[in-house]
Amino acid sequence: MIKKTKKIIAFISLQSAFMALPVAVLANDNSIVPPDTLGKVTDIVAIIRAIVQFILVVAFVLAFIMLLVGGIRWITAGGDEKGVAGARNMITAALIGLVIVLVAYAIILLVEKFFGISIISGGIEIPTVSQTGT
């Protein structure tokens, strides 16, 4: 059990390091990140909006991937009752997850309508890299 936990922790830390490395490299290049925006996050509403949108998108994508994996497991079960039952349970869980994500989205839209605030209706803005002529 301890060996497995050590392997998981090592894998997660290695993946985190690989994911953080490009961020550190790109943050040092002033032509990609404008210098007047570094360290000046003042709009807490924009941060919360981005976090809520990110969570909704990630939850939907993960539920969809689980649905696909469950379908593949069902196909490759080869008539094995345990394999088919496990795949059926995974598909059921993925569908329940999709419904929960869609209901959460609908609740957020209802809160927006009733209170007249903008939580996620502002849309998702994909950041772009614009090179300045230097």
What type of residue is 18?
F
- Triad 23, 54, 7: Cα angle to 5°: 60
Centre a 10 Å sphere on the Cβ of residue 63 and count the other Cβ atoms it contains: 19
Q: What confidence tens digit (pLDDT) does each residue in 36-93 have?
A: 655 565 667 777 777 888 888 899 899 999 999 999 999 998 888 999 999 999 999 9
Same domain for 1 and 45?
A: no
User: Does 117 fall in a domain?
Assistant: yes
Domain co-membership, 61 together with 81: yes
Per the structure, the complete domain to which residue 20 belongs is given by 1-40
User: How many domains does the chain fold into?
Assistant: 2
**What is the per-residue pLDDT across 119-133, written as a single tens digit (0 to 9) for each?**
777 655 556 666 555
Contacts of 49 (CB under 8 A, 6+ apart): 118, 119, 120, 122
Answer whether residue 131 is part of any domain.
no
**Residue 133 falls inside a structural domain:** no
CB 97 within 8 A of CB 62: yes
Do 51 and 108 lie in one domain? The reply is yes
- Which of 29 and 48 is assigned the larger pLDDT? 48
